[in-house]
C-alpha cells in the first residue's frame, strides 16, 4: 500500500485544512496510508550561512523522501499561502531536496467562496522552483469553500458531491504516483541538478 504524507499548510490549531487531511486519511485508509505532518514548530527560516538544518526539518525531509507522495492542504492568507507554509518549504529546499520529482497533490480550504484558489495557484509556481521541482498532479484542483461549515460533528465532509470529487482525485493521485515513478530515468540527474543548483553561483 502506498504511503503518503499529508502536509498541514498552517500553524493554526483550529485548521479546517487539517480537518480536511484528517478526513482524507480516515476516508481512504483502505487505499493508502496518510501520515499528517505539522509545520508549526519549524523555526523561522533566515538563510543560515552554515546551512545546518534543525532536527525537525531533517526529520520532515526524511519522511517526505521516503513517502510515495505528498498531499499539501493550504489555507489562503492574503491571496497567497501562509508564511508558515512558505517557511517550511524554504527549509525543505535548503541543502535538502525531498520534493524533487515527488508526486504532490494540492488541496485547500477557505472560509469564503473561492476555496483558496489563488493560494493554490501560487503554490504550484512555488513547487516548480528549481530546488523543489515537485511533480504536481496537473489539471486537478480541490477547493473547499466555506470550510467552517463543511464538516459534520464526526469531522466528515457533509457534501457528498465533494466527497465524490475528492475520491476521484485521490484515486487519480495514486495512479499519478505510479506514472511519476515510471519517469525515473531522469530522476537521478534531476536530484543532482537540484543539489548542484545554487542560487549563490548562478
* Contacting range for another protein; rule: CB under 8 A; set: 18-26, 74-82, 149-157, 180-188: 74-82
Given ligand FMN, another protein, none, residue 147, with its beta carbon under 5 to 8 Å by kind, binds: ligand FMN
What is the rounded CA–CA span in Å between residue 38 and residue 41? Answer: 8
Exactly one of 2, 63, 118, 156 binds another protein (CB under 8 A); which one? 118
Cα–Cα nearest to 81, from 113, 41, 110 = 110
Given another protein, ligand FMN, none, residue 22, with its beta carbon under 5 to 8 Å by kind, binds: none
Cβ neighbour number for residue 7 with a 10 Å cutoff = 26
Q: Is 47 in the site for ligand FMN (CB under 6 A)?
A: yes
* Contacting range for ligand FMN; rule: CB under 6 A; set: 31-39, 57-65, 104-112, 164-172: 104-112
Q: Is 197 in the site for ligand FMN (CB under 6 A)?
A: no
Helix (H, G, I), strand (E, B) or coil at 138: coil
DSSP code per residue over 45-56: P---TT-PPPHH
Cβ neighbour number for residue 111 with a 10 Å cutoff = 16
Cβ neighbour number for residue 112 with a 10 Å cutoff = 11
Exactly one of 111, 146, 172, 190 binds ligand FMN (CB under 6 A); which one? 111
* Contacting range for ligand FMN; rule: CB under 6 A; set: 15-23, 59-67, 158-166, 170-178: 15-23
**φ, ψ for residue 84, nearest 5 deg:** -60, -35
Least distance (Å) between residue 145 CB and another protein = 16
DSSP code per residue over 159-173: -HHHHHHHHHHHHHH
Q: Is 202 in the site for another protein (CB under 8 A)?
A: yes
x/- map, 84-103, ligand FMN, by CB under 6 A? ------x--xx---------
Interaction residues for another protein, span 133-162 (CB under 8 A)? none
Cα→Cα distances 146→15, 16, 142, 150, Å = 13, 10, 13, 6
Exactly one of 53, 56, 86, 129 binds ligand FMN (CB under 6 A); which one? 129
| Sequence-ordered list of residues with C-beta below 8 angstroms from that of 26, at least 6 positions apart, any chain | 155
Contact residues for another protein (CB under 8 A)?
11-14, 40, 44-47, 49, 77-84, 86-87, 89-90, 93, 118, 122, 125-126, 128-129, 131-132, 199-200, 202
Amino acid at each position: 500500500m502506498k504511503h503518503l504524507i499529508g502536509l498541514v499548510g498552517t500553524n493554526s490549531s483550529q485548521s479546517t485544512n487539517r480537518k480536511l487531511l484528517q478526513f482524507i486519511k480516515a476516508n481512504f485508509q483502505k487505499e493508502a496510508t496518510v501520515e499528517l505532518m505539522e509545520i508549526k514548530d519549524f523555526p523561522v527560516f533566515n538563510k543560515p550561512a552554515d546551512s545546518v538544518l534543525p532536527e525537525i526539518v531533517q526529520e520532515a525531509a526524511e519522511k517526505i523522501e521516503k513517502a510515495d507522495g505528498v498531499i499539501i492542504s493550504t489555507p489562503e492568507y492574503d491571496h497567497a499561502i501562509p508564511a508558515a507554509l512558505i517557511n517550511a518549504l524554504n527549509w525543505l529546499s535548503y541543502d535538502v531536496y525531498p520534493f524533487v520529482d515527488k508526486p504532490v497533490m494540492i488541496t485547500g480550504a477557505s472560509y469564503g467562496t473561492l476555496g483558496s484558489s489563488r493560494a493554490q495557484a501560487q503554490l504550484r509556481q512555488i513547487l516548480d522552483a528549481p530546488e523543489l521541482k515537485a511533480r504536481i498532479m496537473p489539471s486537478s484542483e480541490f477547493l473547499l469553500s466555506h470550510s467552517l461549515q463543511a464538516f459534520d460533528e464526526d469531522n466528515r465532509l457533509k457534501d457528498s458531491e465533494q466527497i465524490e470529487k475528492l475520491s476521484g482525485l485521490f484515486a487519480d493521485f495514486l495512479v499519478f504516483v505510479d506514472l511519476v515513478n515510471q519517469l525515473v530515468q531522469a530522476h537521478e540527474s534531476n536530484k543532482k541538478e537540484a543539489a548542484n543548483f545554487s542560487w549563490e553561483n548562478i
